[in-house]
Chains A and B, each alone.
Chain A
Amino acid sequence: MSFYTTLPLHVVLTSLVASIVMLCIPERLHYWRIGVNLTAAILKLLLVGIMLIGVARGDEFGFRFEMMPGISFYLHADALTMLLSLLSALLWLVTTIYAIGYLKGTPNRRRFFACFSLCVAATMGIAVAGNLFTFFIFYELLTISTWPLVVHTGTREALRAGASYLAYTLFGGGLFLLGIIGLHVVSGESQFTPGGFVTPEMADPFVLRVLFLLLFFGTAVKSAMVPFHGWLPKAMVAPSPVSALLHAVAVVKAGAFGIVRLVYDVYGLDMTLALGMSTVVAVMAGITIIYGSLRALFEDGLKARLAWSTVSQVSYIALGIGIAGPLATIGGLVHLVHQGLMKITLFFCVGAITHTTGVKRVSEIDGMGRRMPLTMLAFSVAALGMIGLPPMAGFVSKLYLGVGAVERGAWWVLGVLVASTLLNAAYFLPILGRAWFAEPVDHHLRREASAPLLYPALFTASLTIGAGILAGMSYSPLQWVIVIAGRFYR
């Protein structure tokens, strides 16, 4: 076991150790904490980069530790792992910079950044988990570590949102655990295998269906699929960097990633289709997409509108998986990255606007394009990407999803896509219109957000364009996803 082959462990440990170290640093030593945080974030990005090259070359990574007799803690790295781990490592660094600027001068920063790091460690763990047991450990760690972030401000509203968040996620965790142990009983110890390890001989189809639904509902809670979405809009009370991370990489992505693992590496595509479960996933995703967009339309709060938009957009991933064709899968998986880039940009911008000007509502945003042109530029790029306009990243996702649906003959999905695109336009374009073309209510001077709030947003916005324009280059998210999909569909 060399350092190189156990890299999956080290990418988790970098932020885990950073979290513990930051907890030990006294509250007032801000610069020490920032130093530790940024060092760990950069180190992690480097390690993930090395791992990415290794995985592309076909090197084997793994770390195994027998935790209970017959049950191992197992970490590995495959192509799918890299999708989430690179995204979270990159966005952790960016979000940390943003959060340092955002929370400057507020209390409880020690607790905040320690939990923030722990949350990233958990996400990384979810990416590198090699079996369901390990996946679950990090899945619950994510729940625990995000709760203090959601209730960070300590207000009554925040605590209520936190309680709702825990009620949903712990309930989901309970379902997931029952599913895992049930599957463990019928299949013995098994790790994620491309093509799945569940076979029809293992148990009665009814039992297999029940277990699939337990696992699926368990992940659907975190990815906020209707009817398990209630916590997400409430969790908006969290500080903006938290919302950014929660909506783009951490919680909802953990759920979506879980669905990907469940369908491709646990049950396998063939079993999922044979049990009729793909349809369940696709239909639930379709309902969520439409419902989330409709609700976003009627929200006036900027963050609330974005939250409902997340509910809707994350389910594109599940939709792509549920359609169960190669092209749709590519569309769904690549959206895992694209949605992350676009949504984090949107939250960065809204956070910067609120932090700088105090504006929280769509109805107050008139003329914002003149007051904060660069911030609004980043916002517009990401919003247009969400709608699916070329050349932004969102267009690529929607294109593959649409073509994939036609390929499988699932015409209703096209309807969902068109309706959702129209709705996306309906709730994003008014914001852009007001910001750029409406007269400002009062003539404030032009004042951009401070550098740590502005540059992360500009950076992720440019990635949004880059991922769209350069989708054809090797190592672009799209090409990487095509490699992954190639392993599921030969």
Chain B
Amino acid sequence: MFENAETVMALLIFLPLLAALGCILAGPAWWQNLLMVTTVAFQMVLAYQLAGIVRTAGTQIATLGAHQLPLAIALRADGLATLMIALTAVVSFATAAYACGWATTESAGHGTALRSLLLMLLSGISALFLADDLFNVYVTLEITTLAAVALVILAPGAGAAEAAMRYLLMAIFGSLLYLLGVALLYAETGQLSMHQLTGQLPPVLTLQVSLLLMTAGLGIKAAMFPVHAWLPAAHASAPSAGSALLSALVAKGAVYLILRIWTGPFAGVWTAEAAQMFAALGIAGMLYAAMQALQQNSIKRVVAYSTVAQIGYLPLLMALPSSEAWLGAAFHAMSHGLAKAGLFLAAGNLVAVHGDDHIWRLSGSGRRMGLNTLAIGMASISLIGLPPSGGFVAKWWLVQAALATGQWWWAVALGIGSLLAAAYLLRLLGYAMRELHPHELLVESSEAPLSQAMLWPPFLLALAALLVSLLGEPLGRLILVGAPPEWTP
């Protein structure tokens, strides 16, 4: 069953959309939960199927509808896209399971909205990873953004509404810039298909401006330094299931597109100096956001700033044209997604127990919420890049790429980034190890009020981030399928 890549890709995009409709239309809560979880579980099966096809048969290009290119909607699944699809499915599954538990606790009345938005986001982000046409990309970006903004508003309070508003305005501005860039490209070439444009574009000024506009637009959506300010507010105030998806997938979707257009259609447009500057900007953002994360007193804000910091590593790919860098960036995106989603869900459990996520809430939680604290610890190990986690494998590849191309300064920057990440994450764990004085002990706070559905997803996500390195070899081969020529071995 599902031997056909076209069917698989179409199902990946439309099935969650249909399920979202199903949730909106009717049904008691348990029925909606069942629909959501089975859909997302099936999404994992599809992702696995797609990975099998791509590994054996190489990059898959499919057209939807009866038209021929360039009229039809083209989808493309290469190794990187498949990896991101698999990540999306896994993270969504854990988050969906978590949402089942969450919908029964704090958000009376928002259950349906949460479930349908989650599914809509899943559809949009899957389409984003698979889209080949730059205008279709715009459409998927908008679906994703709208679902994401709506998820932020689901949280109670004026703070969330304000954060969502800022997010919406920034995202729309980003979309406009992106669209402007696409228009310039279309005017110049008359084409928008990424795989057909690859290797075609000369380094002329119009195209360079187009690339700049598209990068700026996507950069805003990805919250890249220095246009990152909206992210910590939005990701910290969203309901935790939403924060997990936003940080693990949505922000990454925009970076993914930046990497795609730089290494794909526009590969001949930019110069090495531009790549160095872009990478330097990313590293500057990483350092800045890490310093900010060190000073936050809300756990979710620490984690949100950490997202800004971790995204800053990805532009390094452009400065390091080697297959190791390709592997490293892909591995980084994947393990960050797993670990970050786990961390946000674990923070969500603290909110569920205490009502807020002030960093003091962690005090003594090593004893009271053991499993949750273990999840925070394991996710931190991966985010810092300590072995044997997926984050470590990513760092290894990136450092190796930097040293192999003689650019040792990037290796040093990666090392400093890891130490800073260790500083702000272990600060959290330090609180967790703190022993409470008897008078500090709160009335009755333990894991008891948390349902199993909320307890296990963060733990399993963090465990996945920690152990994904064991699949380093098969995943590495998958990632290199269809990598651009400068980034293949």
A-to-B contact residues, CB < 8 Å: 23, 66-69, 71, 107-108, 111, 136-137, 140-141, 143-144, 147-148, 151, 153-155, 159, 162-163, 166, 170-171, 173-174, 177-178, 181-182, 184-185
Contacts and interface: CB of A to CB of B under 8 A. Distances in A.
5 contacts: A67-B393, A68-B472, A151-B430, A177-B395, A178-B403
Contacts of B387: 136-137, 140-141
Interface of B: 327, 364, 366-367, 370, 374, 381, 384, 386-388, 392-393, 395-397, 399-400, 403-404, 411-412, 415, 418-419, 422, 426, 430, 433-435, 469-470, 472-473, 476-477
B426 A67 contact: no
Contact of B426 (A23, A163, A184): A163
A69 B473 contact: yes
Contact of A181 (B384, B411, B434): B411
A68 B426 CA distance: 28
A177 B415 CA distance: 9
B355 to A, nearest CB: 24
Most chain B CB within a 10 A radius of its CB, from A23, A162, A181, A182: A181
B371 to A, nearest CB: 10
Given A108-B367, A170-B422, A68 B430 contact: no
B434 A68 contact: no
Given A147-B426, A162-B433, A177-B396, 17 more contacts: A66-B473, A67-B469, A69-B477, A71-B396, A107-B367, A108-B366, A137-B388, A137-B392, A148-B433, A151-B433, A155-B435, A159-B430, A163-B426, A174-B418, A177-B395, A178-B415, A181-B400
Rank and list the top 3 A-B pairs by shortest CB-CB distance, nearest first.
A154-B435, A68-B472, A137-B387
Contacts of A154: 364, 433-435
Contacts of A171: 419
A185 B386 contact: no
A67 B472 contact: yes
Contact of B388 (A141, A143, A163, A185): A141
Contacts of B374: 23
Contacts of B392: 137, 140
A174 B366 contact: no
A155 B393 CA distance: 34
B269 to A, nearest CB: 30
B399 A181 contact: yes
A118 to B, nearest CB: 12
Contacts of A184: 400
A182 B367 contact: no
A181 B403 contact: yes
A67 B470 contact: yes
Contacts of A163: 426, 430
Contact of B476 (A68, A141, A173, A185): A68
B435 A166 contact: no
A170 B419 contact: yes
B435 to A, nearest CB: 3
Contact of A174 (B367, B400, B415, B433): B415
Contacts of B384: 170
Contacts of B412: 178
Nearest to A158: B433
Nearest to B436: A154
B391 to A, nearest CB: 12
A177 B412 CA distance: 11
Contacts of A162: 430, 433
Contacts of A173: 386
Nearest to A66: B473
Contacts of B472: 67-69
A111 B415 contact: no
A297 to B, nearest CB: 33
A154 B440 CA distance: 14
B376 to A, nearest CB: 13
A174 B386 contact: no
Given A166-B422, A181-B396, A185-B400, A140 B386 contact: yes
Contacts of B400: 181, 184-185
B403 A182 contact: yes
Contacts of B435: 153-155
B403 A185 contact: yes
B367 A178 contact: no
Contacts of A182: 403
A232 to B, nearest CB: 19
A151 B430 CA distance: 8
B433 A159 contact: yes
A410 B403 CA distance: 38
Contacts of B396: 68, 71, 177, 181
